[in-house]
Structure 1
Amino acid sequence: MRKTNLLLGNLAIATLYYLGARLGFLLSISDGNASSVWPPSGMTLAAVLLGGYRLWPGIWLGALLANIHNLLSAEQPWFVAVAVACGTSTGATLEPLTGAWLNQRWCGKGNHLFDQGHNIIKFVAAEALSCTTSPTLGVLSLCLGGYVPWSAFGYSWFTWWIGDLTGVLVLTPLILTWFHPSLNFIARIFTFGWHGRLNGSKLAECVLWLLLVGIIANVAFRFKYPIEYLMIPLLVWAALRFGKRGATLAIFLVAAIAIIGSVYGVSSFIRSTLYESLLLLQAFVASVTVTTLVLSAVINERESAKAELEKANHELEYRVEKRTAELKEANAEITRLNERLQAENLRMADELAVTRKLQQMILPRQSELESIDQLEIAGFMEPATEVGGDYYDVLKQDGRIKIGIGDVTGHGLESGVLMIMVQAAVRTLQASNETDPVKFLQVINQIVYDNVQRMNSDKNLSLALLDYQGGMLRLSGQHEQTIVVRTGGVVERIDTIDLGFPIGLEEDIGDFVSYADVELHPGDVVVLYTDGITEAENTLGVQYGLERLCEVVSRNWQKSASEIRQAAIDDLRRHIGKQKIYDDITLVIFKQK
């Protein structure tokens, strides 16, 4: 099917070339075969740009037939006529191929050759260059064959060249702008590229335009008044009002009128020789054609820019409307989420309040602390959030007193739940009379570790347990340093780093647990705390520090445990000032009676 279409296309091009050549030969100068206006040059260039380089056989065949028909009538042998025809046909074929290649290279491929002003200039330059091919080979062949004397080579070459160029300038834009494979060509004459068919006002405008062209042509060609350039305002009118197709059709009509008038000798271009007359004609046609094409392209660029701007404006409006709708929907979704979040916050607040209440409930009561004969004990715990992760407890069992303090990583609900687990485990082991500190911490670690794994949590805690009986204090577990203030305010600090391991971090910590014994005398004070005290920062980012805590306790050692606790908390609050508290604060003070 493709081969059939290609064959038919080449035959059609050959036929059109032959018919166009017959018309062109009518405009040849008297002493040669060079035509001043050559229609096939414009037709073949348009054909190659639209149909591709594969149409070259049809161009060559049409040129060969036209040239043989013209040359056989001369007094030369037939084989000379055929040889000369082959030479001129080769030049006629190379010309549109070269022109198409230059245009595609300089202006790009596609149907936008006449849409931009700079492309028009490139088009004229490309064709001025490519149109040298046919006259060079053609006139050379005619001179070698004896059809044109060598003395007329220059005149014939120049006339041939400008005739081909004029044919390209007039016909190629017309064919390229009007050609459309899916619509009838004749129907396009009545649309002129407007949006929709001709309405009454446009039809009247066309009739008026044609009437004015007829009047100017009649005056110029009938009475030979040199007013042909009055056609230029009409061409500007066509470019402004009728678009690109209207402009190319107007160029064709004006050029056709000027050429026909000159051929019949009824125009102001007529001079003493046909050669001179046709050169004046070509100058007129070329100048009005290029001017109109450039103007049409500039107008088309303006209209395209306007259309793009309107399109961008519509697109922007659409996007704004779409974005507004999206924002409205997003705002509605945010409102719904806020409502759900508020409800969830209320629910969580209730749950946190319950958990905090549980924490407060399991802390040792003041009556329990006062019931211990050997020690005077005071405790303080303040969570950074609704639920804290700090732990402290005081348990009494068969004359033995166990004091515990711990700090779960982080704070909040999960840390608070873990603290309750530890309190329950310590109380259970204490009630079961477990006295081995190593085994005690190992069992607590196993319970916490198993629960943390079940919770899929990464929580763990530092935990120190102090067993007191008869003035002796046994300390086990890893936590902050334990402060012992002797009578007179002398401070001792016991490091617990080697007495245990973080609870819940490893499954077995038995090898890491140890203990240390401390003897207490009447008036000695022991201070237990979490890092929420020592690492508390003021507004300048300065931490409270362990040294300052030791100084406060040392200055107040002679006071009661409650008074020492209050002095330490008051000093801590003075240090913090208006700075936000980020960690739980726990402090336990007990004093040997």
Structure 2
Amino acid sequence: MADVLVTRRFRPPTETVLASLAVAACYYAAGRLGLLGRLVVEGVVVTPIWPPTGVAVAALLLLGVRVWPGIALGCFLVIASLTTPGLTTVVTVVSNTAAPLCAFLLLRRVDFRLDMARLRDGTCLVFLGGFGAMLISSTAGVGLHVATGSLEKSEFWPVWLAWWAGDTMGVLLVTPLLLAFAGAVGRFRLRRWMEAICLSLAALVLVPLAVLSPMSLLFLVFPLLIWTALRFQLAGSVLCALFASVLTTFEATAGRGAFLHLSDVEIMLKLQAFNGSAALTALLLSSVITEQRTTRRSVRRACEELAEVLEHLAAGEPSPNPPTAGSGATSPGGRRDP
């Protein structure tokens, strides 16, 4: 019995350590992948999409604030793989940890739902988790370059904008995808899988055609995003947007396709305009569609219950399940109250 009590007593710290290590590994892997598509703006290396910010925000939303050491460790490992850690590393690690923590606290403050079944969830993730919280990491990172003399003050804003956009795109593309996959296990039927395969084949043909063509056909991606949002909501639309953004980023860094004969600043502006438009279209449209479908199901269920009650009243029988005060209420986390 003593062994059982000891095991139960030390189980939470062990789980926290393991979860933090897993988050650190995912953060590091995402960072290495993000660095494959880096650009140079005013002599500073930036990434149009920085996936670790999305991984960090999703980890905090799914596992809680207890895994923040994993975010800090993952950030340190990414920096250590690029250069020798120094005093400036502390500032970078703190700012890159504080930004996702701020996003998590802001989203929790507004009762953000992990299923993102409401439009307000999508808009909160965009404006609070992305646009707002990522100001911390971008401002601290670029300010550190200015303070150390590696960047001129006149070059602050172009680099800051590129840094902020990359961190924000990580939240808008990676966080919704991880949240959708975390709650979508076992929900697809065979017919949906067949449709998903057909949609994937269409994406594999259409997206490279739009991205690789020098005629700037990037707009062809948006009908595909709308289709995936209508049929598969968040998981399908964000996955499609991520695929298009990653492929576009690699072509932009190589200066090919729609980014041929453009300067570095022009490439960054055009790339971020496309990535931002794709992410916002996928995220907000899928949230609207999911909210409408949820409302329609609730109305249909209420009509069925009302019809059943009327049938029993017409037959002179008591209602089998009389409505009670507060029945059917839903908690902010999407769970039905007992």
TM-score, structure 1 length as denominator? 0.49
1: CA distance, partners of 2:12 / 2:54: 26
Considering fraction of residues, name the structure with more helix.
2
- Does the C-alpha gap of structure 1 residues 143 and 71 become closer, same or farther in structure 2, counting only changes over 3 Å? farther
Aligned match of 1:198: 190
- The alpha carbon displacement at 1:308 in A equals 0.4
- Does the C-alpha gap of structure 1 residues 29 and 256 become closer, same or farther in structure 2, counting only changes over 3 Å? closer
Aligned match of 1:82: 86
Residue correspondence of structure 1 range 26-41 to structure 2 within 5 A: 26-30=36-40, 31-41=43-53
Partner deviation per Cα, 1:220-260 (whole Å, 9 max, x = no partner):
33332211111111111111112332222222222222223
- Does the C-alpha gap of structure 1 residues 147 and 33 become closer, same or farther in structure 2, counting only changes over 3 Å? farther
Within the candidate set 288, 298, 301, 1:311 is matched to: 301
Instruction: Structure 2 unaligned segments of length 5 or more: list them.
Output: 1-10, 320-338
Aligned match of 2:227: 237
Within the candidate set 56, 65, 85, 1:44 is matched to: 56
1: CA distance, partners of 2:212 / 2:47: 25
Within the candidate set 139, 143, 146, 1:143 is matched to: 146
Aligned match of 1:497: none
Structure showing greater relative contact order (alpha-carbon pairs closer than 8 Å, 6 or more residues apart): 2
- Does the C-alpha gap of structure 1 residues 254 and 29 become closer, same or farther in structure 2, counting only changes over 3 Å? closer
Within the candidate set 253, 274, 282, 1:284 is matched to: 274
- 2:120 alignment partner AA: H
Instruction: Structure 1 unaligned segments of length 5 or more: list them.
Output: 73-80, 331-593
- The alpha carbon displacement at 1:164 in A equals 0.5
- Does the C-alpha gap of structure 1 residues 204 and 14 become closer, same or farther in structure 2, counting only changes over 3 Å? closer
- The alpha carbon displacement at 1:141 in A equals 2.1
- The alpha carbon displacement at 1:204 in A equals 4.5
CA contact (8 A) 2:233 2:287 kept: no
- The alpha carbon displacement at 1:53 in A equals 1.4
Aligned match of 2:74: 62
- 1:160 alignment partner AA: W
1: CA distance, partners of 2:120 / 2:112: 15
- Does the C-alpha gap of structure 1 residues 312 and 149 become closer, same or farther in structure 2, counting only changes over 3 Å? same
CA contact (8 A) 1:224 1:268 kept: yes
Q: Name the SS of the counterpart of 2:39 in structure 1.
A: coil
2: CA distance, partners of 1:82 / 1:47: 27
- 1:55 alignment partner AA: V
Partner deviation per Cα, 1:399-439 (whole Å, 9 max, x = no partner):
xxxxxxxxxxxxxxxxxxxxxxxxxxxxxxxxxxxxxxxxx
CA contact (8 A) 1:84 1:142 kept: no
CA contact (8 A) 1:239 1:247 kept: yes
- 2:46 alignment partner AA: A
CA contact (8 A) 1:247 1:293 kept: yes
Aligned length: 306
Percent sequence identity over matched residues? 30
* Backbone CA RMSD of aligned residues: 2.3
Aligned match of 2:4: none
2: CA distance, partners of 1:322 / 1:287: 53
- 1:22 alignment partner AA: R
- The alpha carbon displacement at 1:169 in A equals 0.7
Considering fraction of residues, name the structure with more strand.
1
Q: Name the SS of the counterpart of 2:258 in structure 1.
A: coil
Partner deviation per Cα, 1:514-561 (whole Å, 9 max, x = no partner):
xxxxxxxxxxxxxxxxxxxxxxxxxxxxxxxxxxxxxxxxxxxxxxxx
Aligned match of 1:367: none
Q: Name the SS of the counterpart of 1:321 in structure 2.
A: helix
Higher deviation after alignment, 8-17 or 257-266: 257-266
Within the candidate set 4, 10, 19, 1:9 is matched to: 19
- The alpha carbon displacement at 1:3 in A equals 0.4
- 2:263 alignment partner AA: T
CA contact (8 A) 1:235 1:250 kept: yes
